[in-house]
Amino acid sequence: MIKVREIYVSWRSGDGSRRKLVGVLKRSANKGITFQYLSEDGKEAEKEGFEGYSGFPLDYSAIYKERDLDIFSLRLVPLERKESSKILHFWEAEGVTDKFELLALTQGLLPTDNYEFLGLFYPKKGFKFVSDIAGLSHFKIESGLIKVGDVLDYKIESHKHAFKKKAVKLIWQTTEIGYIKNVHNNIFLESNKKLNVSVKQIEENGIVKNIFITIDSTF
């Protein structure tokens, strides 16, 4: 059973632009679920058109309370839908019913906007989750170079824009292919053992558009 306490809200203005951490959802036993904007990236995002998340006026001093994740849970696939089991299987979220943890595991992705919801994960025996590689538009991976099932190597390096200022660069054989997403990099920074990173799904159309990976902390 995973225990997620924080989910960071990532936003970008469009394909190829750097994602920024504009907000964070937190939950605790005494305060329940709260949402607040993060000023450091949020103010930078404003320069690119960020106006705040619908239903939450853009106020860096405000702490909003969420009743059972009312607004953000609209990003979750309804469990009663026929295809929900297939979707949960893809995201390694089978058997998870907690809305907060489902949002963290599935990233709350919608085709209609540029938000992602990134869970702050820690290494734990038997825990794995799905992410996708950041920076592909920069590294320009050739179609056919990487295949489903390939195991990727990685190295940790300093990076001013990375969460906790440490980026996790992914490598296939000798080719650098991209980065672990901000916030998802935390599990690598906290682990004292090497994690397993394998290619789960590739989206390509002449060029590689997206690579989903499974990050496994099963020791």
Interval 170-186: pLDDT, tens: 999 999 999 999 999 99
Mean pLDDT of 79-99: 89
Residue 203 three-state SS: strand
Evaluate whether 151 touches 197 at the Cβ level (below 8 Å): yes
pLDDT of residue 40: 95
User: By the 8 A CB rule, do 129 and 121 touch?
Assistant: yes
**Is residue 108, in this structure, part of any structural domain at all?**
yes
In tens, the pLDDT along 14-56 reads 887 899 999 999 999 888 999 999 999 999 999 999 999 999 9
Of 80, 100, 119, the position where a domain reaches its end is: 119
DSSP state at residue 140: -
Mean pLDDT of the chain: 93
Total domains in the fold of the chain: 2
Residue 1 lies in a domain: no
Position of tokens 């038997």?
Answer: 126
| Domain extent for 100 | 6-119
Question: What is the CB-side half-sphere exposure of residue 28 using CA atoms within 13 A?
Answer: 6
pTM above 0.85, yes or no: yes
Domain boundary (101, 119, 137) is at 119
Beta bridge partners of 169: 155, 179
- Do 45 and 135 belong to one domain? no
* 82 and 136 part of one domain: no
- Which pLDDT value is given to residue 133? 97
Residues 209 and 155 grouped into a single domain: yes
Distance of CA 122 to the CA centre of its chain: 13
Domain boundary among 119, 147, 167: 119
Whole-number pLDDT of residue 1: 56
Cα 73 to Cα 100: distance, rounded to the nearest angstrom: 8
Hey, is 168 helix, strand or coil? strand
Q: Which stretches within the chain are classed as H helix?
A: 39-46, 84-90, 99-106, 136-139, 186-190
Give the CATH number, domain containing residue 197.
3.30.70.2330
Q: What is the pLDDT of residues 150-159, one digit of tens each?
A: 999 999 999 9
- Asked if 66 and 37 sit in the same domain, the reply is yes
What was the pLDDT predicted at 217? 85
In a domain, 107, yes or no: yes
More confident residue, 51 or 138: 51
